[in-house]
Structure 1
Amino acid sequence: MIPPALLLVGHGTRDEAGAEAFRAFVRQLGEHNPGLPVGGGFIELSPPPLADSVAELVGQGVRSFAAVPMVLVSAGHAKGDIPAALAREEQRHPGTTYTYGRPLGPHPGLLTILERRLDEVLGDDDRSDTTVLLVGRGSTDPDANAEIYKVARLLWEGRGYAGVETAFVSLAAPDVPSGLERCRKLGAGRIVVLPYFLFTGILPDRVRDQAAEWAAAHPATEVRQAAVIGPEPELADLVMERYRETLKGDLRMNCDSCVYRVKLPGFEDRVGLPQQPHHHPDDPSGDHGHDHHHGPHAHSH
């Protein structure tokens, strides 16, 4: 009997190196888990589209899927677009079923990798003289942005850094230059910019460029740049953990601060809004539009 397939779902990137890193990670998981059907696809921008990955697995006899979103926080894509894409696949392939896992972070395994990335650029230097700027993607969902602050605090606890500050590269404040300026005003002599991204891509490159530009304008402050999380063993273990959770139905989504459930200041109009996922260009089911990324993204509770 074929076990439920592990289906990794990524957003997609226009950066070919980042897309290939995702594809290589999917292949790695398949090689390390013989007997388990493993596939992966994107909801937009990069091949293979999710529809192709699902069709290939269905062709191998798979009828049950456990989907793991390859995202670090639960924002619009995790809450709306990926579940909608899975629902379309269920309609395209009658007789198939899908369970949906939760996002990857925050998790101790990810914190271990982040600390490793800091070690790579700091070596034996004194951590008490170092301030870390953790840079996330940024979202119009305040709950998703708050998760980045949680990661920053968890990273700071017990590791001896002077501080761990937070910034975002898109859609949310503070941006990267503002985050660096805050670190400087707090007295940081050395700052390590730590991108909170799974793989390389357009946005991590933008973080690097903006940090380099700020550093050139502030030569009195030392700025070092760390690498993205990458396909580390801890990431593979975490994905398999999320896979097992979906099979047990142990998802434990935290909805206590969801804008579609709680009246948060400035977001009161979102409470109770219906889910409004959008189509993607690589999906044959319809047209694509990103305008609502600045509007409602809902998920059912």
Structure 2
Amino acid sequence: EREFGRVAAGLKKRFPDMPVEYGFLEFSAPNIHMGLNSLIDQGVEEIYAVPGMLFAATHAKNDIPSVLTTFEEKKGNVKVAYGNELGLHEAMIEAFQARIYESLGLDSNNPPDQLYDTMLVVVGRGTSDTMANAEVAKLTRIVNENMGFGWADTVYSGVTYPSVGEGLERLVKLGFKKIVVAPYFLFTGRLIKRIYGYVDHVAGQFPDSEFIKTPYLNDHEKV
């Protein structure tokens, strides 16, 4: 929650003349209704709602639009426009690659010619939405072609397959001595800790390979 709040604070600084609030769909406060009501209290009549999610699965496609539509119908005098998820925007890909370079101790502004001795494993959230899962695999392909790893593959933290633990156990058998595990997540939480725990477990089983844990995206700022 604190990290998402920092993102909202950063947007407020970037757009000082535009009221900015945020809200969560579930589990945490402020919820979406609280954020919307705060904007209305400030005199806003037209609201742009943007899902702070990497890919469009059930929440972004169905749950959030339902909440916004119900709110708009109930209020009557406010218009709510719904934006797109973050997706595979060029800036998001650049931020992800910067995190990977950072974990390797390399300068993203002066990258090496090749990383053929290293394997990249991208960890996606994993959902019941096939297209959202496919977008993670697409990200892996893009990053691998941009950065030049010897091999790259995708695993998921839940719902779909291959899972992080099972995927790593299979991929390590390809023989790479250096394996970068990069979670494509905006913020930390139990899932990130669980992912890193799986990495440590597999690393203990295969001591001849070096496992490198890439930081999650967080509120990355391009400099």
TM-score range, shorter chain: over 0.9
| Runs of 4+ displaced beyond 6 Å | none
Partner of 1:63: 45
Partner of 1:199: 187
Residue 84 of structure 2: which of 89, 102, 115 is its match? 102
Q: CA offsets, 1:119-159, max 9 Å, x none?
A: 11212586221111100110111111101000000101131
3-state DSSP of counterpart to 1:198 = coil
User: How far off its partner does 1:117 sit?
Assistant: 0.9
Q: Which amino acid aligns with 2:56?
A: S
CA distance in 1, matches of 2:33, 2:123: 31
Asked whether 1:187 is paired with 2:169, we answer no
Residue 216 of structure 1: which of 189, 195, 204 is its match? 204
CA RMSD of aligned residues (A): 1.4
User: How far off its partner does 1:87 sit?
Assistant: 1.1
Structure 2 gap segments, 5+ residues each: 107-111
User: How far off its partner does 1:39 sit?
Assistant: 1.0
Q: Which amino acid aligns with 1:151?
A: L
CA contact (8 A) 1:183 1:191 kept: no
TM-score, with length taken from structure 1: 0.69
Q: CA offsets, 1:182-206, max 9 Å, x none?
A: 3212222111110010111121121
Q: Counterparts of 1:1-301 in structure 2 under 5 Å?
A: 19-124=1-106, 127-234=115-222
CA distance in 2, matches of 1:73, 1:158: 21
Q: Which amino acid aligns with 2:99?
A: R
Percent identity among equivalent residues?
Answer: 35
CA distance in 2, matches of 1:116, 1:158: 12
User: How far off its partner does 1:115 sit?
Assistant: 1.2
TM-score, with length taken from structure 2: 0.92
